[in-house]
């Protein structure tokens, strides 16, 4: 929210004050004054084509309120005899060609045009009907009735602005204008992906959903279809197309859980989100907060046979992160030391699983008898457009999670509570579609960002191509360096999937730096380190012909374990040493690609583009400050990182731990839990164990572009310690 002064105007005799930039339509809506509209939808940029929302602003002509900005001192009349007459005529003209009742009116009785016409007392139109326009049934999912189209443009904006598919557009001129798919192809032959955005945007029956499949979520836990009337009665489904809900009635069902029952388990894959109607649930991580021991060898012979999970208190690692909270797929984050939280009515969880099919990030159990709506993605998509829900989600986030996220930023730890409270109210919450640019390298920096939901890709462009620096997830942040330095972005940030971010405006950020000099000092130190690393990286990239390694994907690696096959006696000392250093679980396999006389062993490459990080439901696989990939204590063993790694370098290792027995409260039983493991370069040692233990000087950890550069002729130095 901006701190600029509010604008005062009068609407229907009532004095109101709104923020600058607010349209007259929104000013009226905020103050409870309804203005009819057909082409305007809250989640789309207004275009003012239907003219139903015209109001009298005291000018020569009526103004379309959806596009007219409110001005100080404006006197607005939303309903007068002249305005009503104008609207009446418009409705009559539109109804003249409308095939009443249209498909939407027939299915769910909520065609917006026919509803307005009925309210205005319009029956048969006095204007002649023009020649009928064709139907298009070519799409398997959506029926197109051009006759019912009122050219409101909503479908075009939905397809382009919201979904970025850009299939729909206007075609023709004047009375022959129509909507068209691609170059006037039938919808089924166009590049339409049947996302349904046009259909849910359409106010009439011009675009309606065909009944394609019998969606059926599971029948357990008293599942029952929620009727359209029930759903429309909920504030979060307000203004959602009744046709859409009717034809997707099995895509959203109501479930009831008794106290103690599990709603969903961490690590399970799913495709649904949950909205709590009644009762409370607890959200927790039941996997032990521990990591696979990474230093071994000093224990006895027999004890080395068993693998062990060790908590932070018993095995402090050099890379121990200082995060206090664990990001999960819910409105709250979990405190590391007590990973349990509670959700209540009106709260939504499982969005990331539903939207992007990531594994469940936590276990949800009913704390009281509760009722939830479980829904598939198409329903969640539609629900998220509802401003009431958005406002509710934003409010919850500000109250429950935002401060934790701010505190997790090391720079913000020195801030006092007063400043944090001020920041909490001044930050903006923004959404980005998959692939959408958030900020571009080189452009002026004007904001600092926290990731609230989804994943953001941070990349750097250079002569050799794009270098991905990181994938950021919930609780991570970016943009601070640009605000401090010359004011230009040092990297490009792009939403990898449906991402939501917290934007702190530059002026607030600079106010913070002025008020807290220690924060500025810390930030300058970080900026200097990054610039140094950047110079070194660019020097390497500029000196080696990258194309040589494209075929083997070696250019993506920052640290390779290479074995000189002319020295290696295949004694497996490296593998044994790795297993010995990691509790009997080796993290390297002496097999892989060959380049010249070298074998590139199967071991984490610390990739420049760490695909393993994408989708981690709890953000436990991450980079260190030196760009090494590590797996944190709260890994829930879902295995997504292992699936994502293109080189098979991450493995899940089972451990036997004691956990609560749900069948016998108060007792514990042995269960098997899995944790992901990958090469960590033996960060607690001066040298990787595999290299240290090789008796033949055959094993080396190298930076591939420097190392292989010497083979392809570029001047380079071999660094046996790799990218440490």
Residues that bind other proteins (CB under 8 A): 295-298, 565-571, 573, 576-577, 580-581, 589-591, 594, 597, 685, 689, 692-698
Distance of closest approach, residue 639 Cβ to other proteins, in angstroms: 24
Distance of closest approach, residue 288 Cβ to other proteins, in angstroms: 25
Cβ proximity to other proteins: between 104 and 590 the closer is: 590
> Quick one: DSSP state of residue 474?
T
Cβ proximity to other proteins: between 322 and 717 the closer is: 717
Question: Other CB atoms closer than 10 Å to residue 21's CB: what's the count?
Answer: 11
Question: Other CB atoms closer than 10 Å to residue 469's CB: what's the count?
Answer: 23
Distance of closest approach, residue 552 Cβ to other proteins, in angstroms: 15
How far is 20 from 109, CA to CA, in rounded Å?
38
Q: Which residues, at least 6 apart from 536, have a Cβ–Cβ distance to it below 8 Å?
A: none
Exposed, middle or buried: residue 191 (CB in 10 Å: 0-12, 13-18, 19+)? exposed
Distance of closest approach, residue 530 Cβ to other proteins, in angstroms: 33
Distance of closest approach, residue 193 Cβ to other proteins, in angstroms: 38
Cβ proximity to other proteins: between 296 and 482 the closer is: 296
Rounded to 5 degrees, φ, ψ at 45 are: -70, 125
Distance of closest approach, residue 142 Cβ to other proteins, in angstroms: 44
Nearest 10 degrees: Cα torsion 119, 120, 123, 124 = -140
Cβ proximity to other proteins: between 119 and 565 the closer is: 565
> Quick one: DSSP state of residue 263?
E
**Cis before 137 (ω within 30):** no
Cβ proximity to other proteins: between 535 and 597 the closer is: 597
Which of 76, 19, 31 has the alpha carbon at shortest distance from 53? 76
How far is 299 from 295, CA to CA, in rounded Å?
10
Look at the alpha carbons of 58, 10, 71, 89 in this order and tell me if their dihedral is positive or negative.
negative
Cβ proximity to other proteins: between 169 and 308 the closer is: 308
Cβ proximity to other proteins: between 333 and 583 the closer is: 583
How far is 362 from 332, CA to CA, in rounded Å?
11
489-511 in b/e form (b: 16+ CB < 10 A) is: bbbbbbbbbbbbbbbbbbebbee
How long, in residues, is the chain?
724
∠ at Cα 195 (192, 199), nearest 5°? 95
Contact 111, 152 (CB under 8 A): no
Distance of closest approach, residue 573 Cβ to other proteins, in angstroms: 6
Distance of closest approach, residue 678 Cβ to other proteins, in angstroms: 18
Distance of closest approach, residue 563 Cβ to other proteins, in angstroms: 10
Distance of closest approach, residue 321 Cβ to other proteins, in angstroms: 24
Distance of closest approach, residue 672 Cβ to other proteins, in angstroms: 26
How far is 314 from 309, CA to CA, in rounded Å?
10
Distance of closest approach, residue 629 Cβ to other proteins, in angstroms: 21
At 397, list the tokens.
Answer: 């986030």
DSSP helix/strand/coil, 540: helix
Cβ proximity to other proteins: between 452 and 587 the closer is: 587
59-74 in b/e form (b: 16+ CB < 10 A) is: eeebbbbbbbebeeeb
Distance of closest approach, residue 704 Cβ to other proteins, in angstroms: 20
Distance of closest approach, residue 594 Cβ to other proteins, in angstroms: 8
Cβ proximity to other proteins: between 238 and 570 the closer is: 570
Look at the alpha carbons of 182, 186, 190, 192 in this order and tell me if their dihedral is positive or negative.
positive
Cβ proximity to other proteins: between 473 and 586 the closer is: 586
Distance of closest approach, residue 293 Cβ to other proteins, in angstroms: 12
Which of 628, 650, 622, 648 has the alpha carbon at shortest distance from 638? 650
Distance of closest approach, residue 695 Cβ to other proteins, in angstroms: 4
Cβ proximity to other proteins: between 388 and 651 the closer is: 651
At 578, list the tokens.
Answer: 């790795």
CA 451 to chain centre: 8
Cβ proximity to other proteins: between 566 and 663 the closer is: 566
Write the DSSP string, 91-145. Answer: HHHHHHS--SS-HHHHHHS--HHHHHHHHTT--S-SSPP-PPPPEE--SSSEEEE
Cβ proximity to other proteins: between 177 and 569 the closer is: 569
Cβ proximity to other proteins: between 354 and 577 the closer is: 577
Residue with tokens 């960002």: 449
Write the DSSP string, 567-604. Answer: T-----HHHHHHHHHTTT----EEEEEEETTEEEEES-
Question: Other CB atoms closer than 10 Å to residue 333's CB: what's the count?
Answer: 25
How far is 406 from 437, CA to CA, in rounded Å?
23
DSSP helix/strand/coil, 439: strand
């Amino acid at each position: 929210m901006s701190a600029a002064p509010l604008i005062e105007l009068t609407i229907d005799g009532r004095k109101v004050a709104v923020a600058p930039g607010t349209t007259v339509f929104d000013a009226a809506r905020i103050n409870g004054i309804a203005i009819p509209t057909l082409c305007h939808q809250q989640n789309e940029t207004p275009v003012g084509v239907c003219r139903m929302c015209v109001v009298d602003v005291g000018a020569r002509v009526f103004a379309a309120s959806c596009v007219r900005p409110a001005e100080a001192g404006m006197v607005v009349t939303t309903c007068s005899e002249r305005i009503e007459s104008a609207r009446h005529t418009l409705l009559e003209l539109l109804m003249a060609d409308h095939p009443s009742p249209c498909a939407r009116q027939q299915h769910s009785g909520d065609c917006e045009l026919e509803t307005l016409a009925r309210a205005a007392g319009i029956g048969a139109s006095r204007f002649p009907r023009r020649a009928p326009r064709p139907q298009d049934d070519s799409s398997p999912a959506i029926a197109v009735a051009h006759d019912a189209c009122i050219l409101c443009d909503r479908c075009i904006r939905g397809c382009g602005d919201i979904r970025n598919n850009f299939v729909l557009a206007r075609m023709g001129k004047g009375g022959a204008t129509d909507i068209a798919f691609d170059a006037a192809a039938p919808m089924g032959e166009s590049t339409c992906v049947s996302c349904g955005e046009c259909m849910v945007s359409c106010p009439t029956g011009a675009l309606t959903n065909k009944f394609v499949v019998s969606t059926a979520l599971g029948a357990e836990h008293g599942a029952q279809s929620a009727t359209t009337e029930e759903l429309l009665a909920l504030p979060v489904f307000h203004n959602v197309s009744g046709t859409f809900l009717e034809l997707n009635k099995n895509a959203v069902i109501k479930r009831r859980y008794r106290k103690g029952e599990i709603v969903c388990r961490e690590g399970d894959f799913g495709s649904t989100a949950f909205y709590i109607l009644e009762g409370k649930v607890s959200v927790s991580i039941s996997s032990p907060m521990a990591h696979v021991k990474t230093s071994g060898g000093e224990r006895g012979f027999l004890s080395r046979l068993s693998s062990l999970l060790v908590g932070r208190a018993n095995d402090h690692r050099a890379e121990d992160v200082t995060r206090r909270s664990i990001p999960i797929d819910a409105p709250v984050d979990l405190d590391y030391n007590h990973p349990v939280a509670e959700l209540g009515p009106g709260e939504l969880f499982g969005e990331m699983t539903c939207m992007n099919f990531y594994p469940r990030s936590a276990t949800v159990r009913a704390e009281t008898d509760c009722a939830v709506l479980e829904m598939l993605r198409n329903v969640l998509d539609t629900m998220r457009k509802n401003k009431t829900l958005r406002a509710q989600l934003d409010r919850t986030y500000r109250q429950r999670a935002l401060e934790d996220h701010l505190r997790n930023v090391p720079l913000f730890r020195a801030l006092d509570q007063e400043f944090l409270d001020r920041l909490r109210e001044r930050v903006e919450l923004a959404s980005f579609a998959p692939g959408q640019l958030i900020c571009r390298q080189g452009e002026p920096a004007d904001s600092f960002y926290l990731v609230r939901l989804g994943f953001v890709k941070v990349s750097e462009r250079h002569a050799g191509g794009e270098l991905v620096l990181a994938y950021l997830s919930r609780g991570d942040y970016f943009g601070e360096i640009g605000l401090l330095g010359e004011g230009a972005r040092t990297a490009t940030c792009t939403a990898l999937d449906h991402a939501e971010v917290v934007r702190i405006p530059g002026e607030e950020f600079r106010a913070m730096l002025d008020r807290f000099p220690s924060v500025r000092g810390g930030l300058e130190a970080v900026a200097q380190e990054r610039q140094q690393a950047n110079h070194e990286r660019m020097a390497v990239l500029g000196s080696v012909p990258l194309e040589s390694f494209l075929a083997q994907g070696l250019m993506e690696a920052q640290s390779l374990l290479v074995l000189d096959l002319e020295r290696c006696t295949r004694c497996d000392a490296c593998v044994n040493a790795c297993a010995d250093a990691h509790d009997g679980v080796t993290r390297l396999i002496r097999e892989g690609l060959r380049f010249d006389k070298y074998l590139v062993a199967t071991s984490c490459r610390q990739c420049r583009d760490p695909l393993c990080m994408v989708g981690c439901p709890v953000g436990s696989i991450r980079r260190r400050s030196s760009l090494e990939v590590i797996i944190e204590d709260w890994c829930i063993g879902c295995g997504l990182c292992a699936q994502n790694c293109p080189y098979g370098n991450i493995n899940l290792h089972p451990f036997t731990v004691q956990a609560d027995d749900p069948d016998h409260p108060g007792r514990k039983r042995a269960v098997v839990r899995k944790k992901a493991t990958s090469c960590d370069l033996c960060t607690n040692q001066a040298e990787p164990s595999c290299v240290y233990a090789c008796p033949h000087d055959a094993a080396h950890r190298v930076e591939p572009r420097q190392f292989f550069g010497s083979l392809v002729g570029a001047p380079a130095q071999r660094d046996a310690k790799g990218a440490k």
